[in-house]
Chain A
């Protein structure tokens, strides 16, 4: 790579930089650690469920204490929290990141990149592993 860099070759450097920049831009570039180890992905799914459950149960307990309605709101919100957790997992797996709502496509800057999210939110194994592991 770095052979032939005689000083004064700034023009050359400029040209090379421009060429590389042009190459770099095919839409799927960084930010898509597509098929990372399943560890991060599994971690993410687990965390999503647990987080929603914690929020649901927490709200249920607080409301119960406030309204004095026995265990009923806790039960209701626990179930709702579980549903929200499932929904989060579904979204992560579908690759629509942490988005609330269903937006199947279209909105946002571009759909392909948003799924380049953490922990390989893309359907795993779509691309051969590349070395952007440390992205």
Chain B
């Protein structure tokens, strides 16, 4: 019973359709289900939103255009015009994370962005892609990225490892930020929600707090998707223009 009401039980992975591929467990879980729902919703949102384009957009079209323009502006502001061709990946990442975060706000659903392995996999894809991009654009010159300009050569043996570590820490900070925000927020919601029945009449206080916190969580859902997207843009920008 205590198990069922633990504030952490919401993050439990449950196998829905057990699938085994040789030794590997590739079962279809509740996490995978929510991911599929997120992808389907994004596709529906964008296709229905752009089905009957009107000069004066309706609600859904307006939202779809807003999302498109938001990411477009983000890329223009951070990367500049040559960032335009990376629009698909950034838009995909943004919408996937955003819908994952927002779906997590639906009661009884599951927040797949609250699992470090999910966010880390996404961050690693971004990181590897950006590194490859840097090598494609600059070849071996890419390594000059790690040499701080205007520093005497004596300091290089110390500073270059630091720069490399700093570069390698990117996927971790990118993924941990998203995961920690989601995990902490949802746990907090559950903890305070648990106070409501426990306190009887005084439970209105935590109830009010939980209501406010839900609003905050929705803001954070948007914000973290935005942060993930903008950091991806910044990394692409770094790979395109070395110093």
Contacts and interface: CB of A to CB of B under 8 A. Distances in A.
Given A81-B165, A88-B166, A100-B166, A31 B78 contact: yes
A97 B223 CA distance: 16
Interface in B84-100: none
Interface stretch (A53-61, A64-72, A122-130): A53-61
Contact of A84 (B165, B230, B234): B165
A15 interface: no
Contact count band on A? 35 or more
A100 to B, nearest CB: 5
A104 to B, nearest CB: 9
Nearest to A77: B165
Interface stretch (B11-19, B39-47, B169-177, B194-202): B169-177
Given A113-B77, A119-B227, A52 B149 contact: no
Contact of B77 (A31, A54, A81, A98): A31
Interface stretch (B21-29, B105-113, B204-212, B235-243): B235-243
Contacts, number: 126
A75 interface: no
B169 A97 contact: no
A116 B145 CA distance: 22
B85 to A, nearest CB: 15
A30 B73 contact: yes
Contacts of B163: 84, 87, 100-101
Contacts of B238: 98-100
Of listed A40, A51, A103, residue having the most chain B CB within 10 A: A51
Contact of A52 (B78, B79, B80, B165): B165
A118 B226 contact: yes
A117 B231 contact: yes
A84 B162 contact: yes
A134 interface: yes
B161 interface: yes
B150 interface: yes
Given A98-B234, A118-B230, A119-B227, A103 B176 contact: no
B236 to A, nearest CB: 11
Contact of B169 (A84, A103, A108, A119): A84
Contacts of B241: 107-108
A62 interface: no
B91 to A, nearest CB: 15
A53 to B, nearest CB: 8
16 contacts: A13-B56, A30-B77, A31-B78, A36-B223, A44-B177, A47-B176, A47-B180, A48-B173, A59-B168, A80-B165, A88-B166, A98-B173, A102-B243, A103-B149, A107-B243, A134-B223
